[in-house]
Amino acid sequence: MMGTLFHKVFEVNTAAAEEALWSIISTTSSIPQYWHGTRWLKNIGEERYQIRFAFPAKGVVDFVYDNSRKTAKEIYVKGPFKGEKIISVSSHDNESLLRVEWNIRFSFPYSIFKAKMRDHMSQGTSNAISRIITEASKC
């Protein structure tokens, strides 16, 4: 895989219920509501979608959900970056842990702006986590 690697893990403990969090992160159609870097998704296969990002770019992404492990995997196969984002939820000691892990490589020309892209994606991920937790806490 060519380009610049972005690997980062976000973990947030919350009082929001594990099932409420899972309901949100396992619903593909709700992604643009929480992840503002995604403008829209269009299904082009079983688990394959065309994705339009907030910045002017499109790509192709596969969504794979594991209900038993409460893990949502987004596999970016074409576009400004390739790799995966793994979102999971688990519960420990009456709290839920929401975890997001990025493992992607930026494609050219985005790799030129790697520091800015990393900061932008980190901030966007933190904001999305906050939106997801806020919504799940209402349940």
**Domain locations in the chain as residue ranges:** 4-27+61-137
Token reading at 49: 């979608």
Give the amino acid at 49.
Y
Q: 2, 4, 38, 1: which is closest to 113 by C-alpha? A: 4
Arch. (CATH architecture) of 4-27+61-137: 2-Layer Sandwich (3.30)
Question: 3 pLDDT band (50/70/90 cuts)?
Answer: low
Q: Is residue 55 helix, strand or coil?
A: coil
Q: Give pTM, 2 decimals.
A: 0.94
Q: What is the mean pLDDT of residues 51-66?
A: 95
Going by the DSSP 8-state scheme, the letter that residue 124 receives in this structure is H
Share of the chain above pLDDT 90, in %: 84
Is pLDDT above 80 for 1?
Answer: no
